[in-house]
Every structure is written in C-alpha cells, then in structure tokens.
Amino acid sequence: MSFEDRLRGSMQTHAERAETSPDAYDRILERAERPHRPWLAPALAMGSAAAVVALALAFVGGDDADNADNVIAGPPALATSTTSAATGQSPAAADEGSSVDLAATNVAGDGMHAECRAHPTEGPEADWVLRAEMARRAESGERFEFAVPGEGDLELVPTDFLVVGDLARGDGLAEVCTRTYWAVPPGASGDGIGWTEDVVRIEADADDWTVTGWTIGTWHDLGEVRSVEVAALESLETCGYEDDQWTTTPGGIVTTHDDPLEIAAMTLVTGGLGPGDEPAYGIPADTRVLSVEFHEGVVTVDFSAAVAKTMTTSCDGSYKVRLIERTFLNQPGVRTVRILVDGDVPGDADGPHLIG
C-alpha cells in the first residue's frame, strides 16, 4: 500500500467517526435568524467611526467566503447612524438579543473617545474576552491611535488582519500586513503588537516564523480608515495573501510596496511563498526584489539575484509579465484590485492568470 493510500485510509477511517447532532438543522436556522454583524449597531451607537473600526477589527475574524461583506456598512449608512448615535444610547440596548454582549464606556458623544468591551457569550469564541480601544487625538488632526490596553482580561485580539500605513496618500491601501495568528498579551507593546506614534511594531510568532520591526506610517482620515478596512480584506483575498504567506518571499518584499497592484504582482511573480518556505519557482534564497515597475502594461520586476529558468526571461534578474487588465473596483477608498496578466508565471505556466 502506497503512502498516499495509507493517508486516504486514515482519513476515511477518522472521517467516519465524526458525529453529527440531530438538532443541527434547527440550530443553523436559529443562528441564521440572529442579528447579522452584532457588533455594528453598538459601534454605531457610540457615535464614532473609530469605534466601528475597532469593533470591526475585533469581530471580523477568519476568511470566510463573504468576509468582505461582513465588515462594515458603507459611509452613507455610517453617517446616518452616527447622527442618531450621539444621544448616548446604551450600545448594549441597541442590539438586544444578539449573541454578543457588548458594553461600552467612555462614550462622550463627540466621537473623540471610545472604549469597547465585548464578551462573546457563545459560539466557538465564547471564551474570548476582548477589549478594544481607540482614541482620537484632536490635537493631531485626524490621527488615530489604536491601542491594546494593558489591563483586564484581554486574552486575544482576534484580528486576522491589520491594516497599517499612510492612508492619506490617496492610493488607498498603503500596506497590508498580516492575516496571521497573532495573540496579543495584555499590555502588548513591543512584544506582540503595539502602536506608538508613527510606528507599528509587530512581533508575530506564527508557525515558526517571526517578523519584527515593521515601521509604517500613521493613520489618517477617518473615512479612509473606514474604507480601507474593507479594502484590506478584499485586497488580502485578491492579492493572494493568506495565512502564512502574507509577507515576504525569500528576502523581504512587501514592506517596500505601497500599491496593491504591486503587492499582487509580487505575489504573482514569487509564487506566493511564505516565510519559512523553501525557495521555489526559480527564486534563490535571499533574493530581494529591487524594484517593480508598471509601464505600458508590462510589469517588470528586478531581482537582486539571478532567477532560474522557470522565471522566463533568462537569468538576468528580470522578469516580465504582460498586464492585460487592471481594474480597481469600488473606488474611492476601497481598492479591490483585479489584474490579469499573461506570461510564464513561475511554476504555473498554463496561461493567463486572474488574481482576484
């Protein structure tokens, strides 16, 4: 019996041991009828889009099929809701009956400060206690500081992603980091994840790799923050970032790029390798991408080292694909990127590839 057959047999044996509950269907329907986005109404009730972002970051976990839709209502809905939210209505009351018990304090009604504490009471996250805090600094204009407080019973910040970067540049998504496995201890700063002024520092221990010292810009513009949070999810999906493949390939690439298309291209040309993966698709270890250019429909990537034959155009460190289509959807703010390229994609040379 081959190894693969043994594997099949083992899977089959164990799969047959899985048991199902007789009332599963009713439970599904019961859950389907619960309020969708339970965090949204309380967040809106706080009168702070920052709170919305905080709670969205907190509650939107995973990369389910409709994640992008799970995030946040668009700007018009938000504007409408925040108008009525300044009354100081109890956020918890705004969502009675939800599976999430939410309470909020420090809601001044001016949208300047918001502190949210959430206690999911059932479901797989029932043991989570989350506290997210976001404060708006009037003296610094539209700067926001999103911090993990160092007290209480915070055990896990279930953000599957983090959007960081200078959002005022107008190019939407400046940098997207993660979709990873961070667990943030109470008081995390420096260890785990922390925001200080203009610097985001991350130490993420995930699947045997560690990333440290990412330095990125500030958060600007409330509206952009709101939008980009959506963009992040979609861009993560469309760019192929997921789980352990979000950062660099051999060498450290992503941090230098500020355009989703470039990020997508990076994923494309590097084959979506993840940290710790062995080099593949003809890219030697420690190879760095020196530059990425888009000109007349051609993506040109210069590598610091010669790449192998699978990278098509010889071993001069240059690789080109022809960009057939580049579409930004949902502008402004949301920067869903779809690109269609043609060329010999490393390791997968079976024709044009649509990312997204």
Positions that interact with another protein (CB under 8 A): 3-4, 6-8, 10-29, 31-33, 36, 61-66, 69, 123-125, 156, 158, 160, 180-181, 183, 205-207, 237, 240, 242-245, 271-272, 277-278, 280-281, 345-348, 350, 353
Phi, psi (degrees; rounded to nearest 5) at 209: -135, 160
CA distances for 41 relative to 77, 78, 99, 215, 305, angstroms: 11, 10, 13, 33, 52
Nearer to another protein, 300 or 310 (CB): 310
Query: Least CB distance from residue 176 to another protein, whole Å?
Result: 15
| 3-class DSSP state of 195 | strand
33 vs 296 by CB, closer to another protein: 33
CB of 182 to another protein, least distance (A): 8
Q: Say how far apart CA 59 and CA 47 lie, in whole Å.
A: 18
Smallest gap, in angstroms, from Cβ of residue 288 to another protein? 21
- Give the Cα separation of 139 and 224 in Å (integer): 19
How far CA 243 is from CA of 36, 179, 201, in Å, comes to: 25, 5, 19
Q: Choose between 16 and 96: whose C-beta lies nearer to another protein.
A: 16
Both structure tokens of 43: 């967040």
**Would you say 91 or 274 has its CB closer to another protein?**
274
- The answer to whether residues 163 and 176 touch, using CB atoms and an 8 Å cutoff, is yes
Quote the least distance from Cβ 233 to another protein, whole Å: 12
Dist. CA 131–CA 168, nearest whole Å: 27
In the complex, minimum distance from the CB of residue 279 to another protein, in angstroms, rounded to a whole number:
11
Which residue has 């420090």 as its token pair? 106
DSSP state of 326: E
Q: Closer CB to another protein, residue 175 or residue 244?
A: 244
- Cβ 2 to another protein shortest distance, Å: 11
φ, ψ of residue 200 to 5 degrees: the values are -110, 125
The minimum distance between CB 269 and another protein, in angstroms, equals: 12
Pairing of strands 298-303, 193-196: unpaired
The nearer residue to another protein, 61 or 217, going by C-beta atoms, is 61
**Type of residue numbered 204:** A
Q: Rank residues 160 and 224 by Cβ distance to another protein and give the closer one.
A: 160
Give whichever of 27 and 137 is closer to another protein, judged by the CB atom.
27
**DSSP-assigned beta bridge partners for residue 337:** 328
Q: Is the Cα dihedral 307, 259, 248, 181 positive or negative? A: negative
Task: Report, in Å, the least distance between residue 94 CB and another protein.
Answer: 20
